[in-house]
Amino acid sequence: MKQQTSLVLFCLLNSITVVISGESFLVINRRHTRHRNLKLFVFGDSYADTGNWPKSYGGSWQEPYGITFPGSPSGRFSDGRVLTDYIAGVLGTKSPITYGGWKSGEKKSIKYGMNFAYGGTGVFDTFVNQPNMTTQIDYFQQFVKQKQDLLINSSSIAILSLAGNDYATYFTSNHTLQELPGLTRSIIDQLVSNVKRIHELGVQKIAITGMEPLGCLPQFTASTSYQNCSGTENSVAEFHNQVLAESIRNLNNQTGDKSLFVILDLYKAFSSALNLHQNLSAGKSTLKTLLEPCCQGVSKGYSCGNIEEGTKIMRYTVCDNPNGSFFWDMIHPSQQGWRAVSLHLRSSLLGLL
């Protein structure tokens, strides 16, 4: 079964090393001790989803996803860890259980919070039949009512991921760039409404991802043999981020606390990580270019994880060294890519503590 190919649009002083699931993370010692009871609540899309999609749908639950971590498919849209896992590590906690796992009776602790993110979703309905962010927050509200023993505390933090699926759905419906400003403002207005609602439910600190440089995703660089980012898609992301920054600034001014709502600048983090990677591995990359995905279909119409219908013949290829790749598939960073991005988000994340 073919994978959903349209899941588009996702100070080291006094530090100690904490090992979480075999991965090293740097956290501030003093702050880590103070916030060891931190609970993380995650909403959004595939950049944050750690396994909410039903296993029967395949995609992120089929090989070769998860080959780096945990060694088999885990529902993450990567070869290993994703943004949520690294955010949890930076904040000195563990990646929370998925809502889907908890609902199905999975025997895992909920003391670290819960992940409600579903790959392919947006603030509005998209091309996938999975809960949008409003519905995810509905689940959260129900969860809080059911679990009175897991009250939200002052250390609770919410993460909202929005990587571009609303835009993908919009443009596949034959809309034009001229209509973009109205779309962006409606997306941001709904996102701000979601932020307010989560805050009203008791979560004091909330981080919202800015849009990554969409034009640098392999889906848009393939036409240039992965040599150049697309200026058109990047301009969409830049405008989105501009409106988002203005709206979150206004929201913080309304509350009188400029640290309540924080933007995680994925645009800058992606760009910086890519440049850093280029500088460190110039001439040594195992991939033809940094923008080329590690896992991709063998021809047009196929993508990472696809097999020939009715057979077990693989219709995709995987690079020799995923750790040498920034992108895993046509949309999503690899574990190594997310690790690099998280390093550039570190100071913003620590500001939430």
- As annotated, the active-site residues are 46, 329, 332
Cα–Cα dist 322/316, whole Å: 14
Closest CA to 267 of 246, 248, 241, 306: 241
Torsion angles phi and psi, residue 261, rounded to 5: -120, 120
Backbone dihedral region for residue 54 (phi beyond 0: left; psi -120 to 50: alpha; all else: beta): beta
β-strand partners of 158: 41, 206
| DSSP secondary structure, 88-144, as one string | HHHTTS-PPEEHHHHHTT-----TTEEE---TT--SS--SSSS--HHHHHHHHHHHH
Phi, psi (5° rounding) for residue 307? -125, 160
DSSP for residue 321: -
Residue 318 vs residues 120, 273, 294: alpha-carbon distances, Å: 22, 22, 6
What is the DSSP secondary-structure string of 127-194? Answer: SSSS--HHHHHHHHHHHHHH-TTS---TT-EEEE---SHHHHHHHTTT--GGGHHHHHHHHHHHHHHH
The two beta strands, 40-43 and 113-115, are parallel
Residue 207 β-bridge partners: 159, 262
> Residue 19 pairs with which residues in a beta bridge?
24
- The type of residue at 329 is D
Q: For strands 23-28 and 15-20, give the pairing.
A: antiparallel
